[in-house]
Structure 1
Amino acid sequence: MGTESKRQQRFAGVIQQDLAELFHKEGSIWAPGAFITVTRVRVTPDLAIARVYLSFLNTATAQADLKAVRTKTTEIRYKLGAKIKNQVRIVPQLDFFLDDTNEYVEHMDKLFDEISKETRQPD
């Protein structure tokens, strides 16, 4: 996906904010014990599809939690539609993805720690 227009960015921001509220209120129902954050939303140029990236904290089963959220996509889309119905013509289709940025950062930190602990060979 290329650069997003201002319209796409604004619309993605609205969806991100409303989904964040929704997950804050009802996320514990869909993924018990997990704290769900909406890290990023990308919208297609026609605003018909929103790719929502979720981060799951306080859980070791992020994949299973993502699967549980995906089974509730219709319900989540309906509730989102109730919030944004006066702002849009159609409620976009929601595709949920796991945002593994935190795990990647932790992995890279561990690698750098290991590298720094190794004794340096004299040149």
Structure 2
Amino acid sequence: MESKRQQKFGRLIQKDLSDIFQKEFKEVFGKGMVTITDVKMSPDLSAARCYLSFLLVENPQAMVDTLSEKNKAIRNALATRIRHQARIIPHLSFYLDDTAAYAAKIEALFEGLVIPPATEEEEN
């Protein structure tokens, strides 16, 4: 469980990274869109796990790999934004957020269930 401090700092990183992706790194995504769904911070705030979701991107994992390659430039852009609020600029790790695909899979499983109607004896 994350502390309030970790959650607050994670929201700051999430907001600033989304702004950086929209303004400074939009050529990386082309016509696609990226959403930072969650940022999990380590207890000492030195590492951030960023979960990303993509729209209109053919290969999301390749996009995550591209961002990982540009990690140094992204971290530098983040440092210029949060240098007065943070003592340590966290190391960024990017991961593909697959919760939407997982939810669709579970929904398909529920749709495929065949539940027989209750008999009169079970109702009483």
User: If the length of structure 2 is used for normalisation, what is the TM-score?
Assistant: 0.86
Map 1:1-16; keep pairs closer than 5 Å: 3-16=1-14
- Output the CA distance in 1 between the equivalents of 2:97 and 2:40: 13
Query: Which residue matches 1:91?
Result: 89
Flag as ranges the 4+ runs of structure 1 deviating above 4 A. 118-123
Give the partner amino acid of 2:54.
F
- Kept in 2, the 8 Å contact 1:27–1:35? The answer is no
The 3 A distance-change label for structure 1 pair 90 and 119 is closer
Structure 2 spans left out of the alignment, 5+ residues: 120-124
C-alpha distance in 1 between matches for 2:115 and 2:46: 54
1:17-36 aligned at under 5 Å gives the runs: 17-36=15-34
Measured after TM superposition, the shift of residue 4 of structure 1 is 1.2
1:45 paired residue number: 43
C-alpha offsets along residues 64-91 of structure 1, whole Å, 9 cap, x if unaligned? 1111111111110000011001101121
Q: How many residues are treated as equivalent by the alignment?
A: 119
The SS at the match of 1:86 is coil
TM-score (ref. length: structure 1): 0.86
Q: Which residue of 2 aligns with 1:79?
A: 77
Confirm or deny: 8 A CA contact 1:31 1:69 kept in the other structure.
Answer: no
Which structure would you say has the larger Rg?
2
**Any gaps of 5 or more consecutive residues in structure 1?**
none
